[in-house]
Each structure stands twice: as C-alpha cells, then as structure tokens.
Amino acid sequence: SAVISQKPSRDICQRGTSLTIQCQVDSQVTMMFWYRQQPGQSLTLIATANQGSEATYESGFVIDKFPISRPNLTFSTLTVSNMSPEDSSIYLCSVLPSSGNTIYFGEGSWLTVV
C-alpha cells in the first residue's frame, strides 16, 4: 500500500480563518480523495481531487468553502475556508493506487475551530 503523509496532524484554528492541509503520497496513484469525519461520525466524501483540473465535489460541499488542488499525481491540498466551530473534524486524505480497488487513508488532520 502507498505511504500517505498528511500535515498538519492537528491544529487549533480561530473562527473565520482558513487552513490548508497537505497530502503527499510516496508513489503515483490513480485517484486522490478528501473525506471528513466529524466527531463520533462516519466518513463523508468531500471531493475527488483531479490532477490538473478542478476537483469533483459531492453534494453539500462547494469549492468556495473547500478549495482543492492536485498539481501532480502524488500531492494534493485541501483548504478549509472561513472556518466555524462546525468545521471541527478530522480531515482525511485517501488514495486509490494504480492497481486495485481499495483506498488507503492518511493519518488525518484533526482540526478544532474555536
């Protein structure tokens, strides 16, 4: 499986600010995704990060709030914009390797908005 590095691993953010989370993979992968896991909840797909083009967002998530970049096959960023306490969650990067159907997760970025 791919080695996925996410940073920051944890942060406390002020209301109204924005934070960018980085995801780096040690090998080229077919697809990269961003998930959100609110406290005690399941994993919800935010968007698919497309290499060299705009991300594909799921219902309920918009580019203005969660801008995503993927400049190459091994790196992606997710920005959480204009944060409110409701954005306090774990944000997880995940990847689909070139072979197989299974996605693997990064260690997650734990954001607390105060």
Partner 1 sequence: GENVEQHPSTLSVQEGDSAVIKCTYSDSASNYFPWYKQELGKRPQLIIDIRSNVGEKKDQRIAVTLNKTAKHFSLHITETQPEDSAVYFCAASRGLGDMRFGAGTRLTVKP
List contacts with partner 1 (CB under 8 A). Answer: 30-31, 33, 41-45, 48, 59, 92, 94, 96, 101-108
Which CB, 81 or 88, lies closer to partner 1? 88
Which CB, 75 or 96, lies closer to partner 1? 96
Which CB, 17 or 41, lies closer to partner 1? 41
- Find the shortest distance in angstroms from Cβ 86 to partner 1: 19
How far from each other are the two terminal CA atoms of the chain, in whole angstroms?
Answer: 36
CA distances from 19 to 2, 26, 102 (A): 25, 23, 28
Which CB, 73 or 81, lies closer to partner 1? 73
Tell me phi and psi for residue 100, to 5 degrees: 100, 170
- Beta-carbon contacts of 90 under 8 Å, excluding residues fewer than 6 positions away, are 36, 37, 38, 108, 109, 110, 111
- Find the shortest distance in angstroms from Cβ 82 to partner 1: 26
- Find the shortest distance in angstroms from Cβ 31 to partner 1: 5
CB atoms within 10 A of CB 51: 17
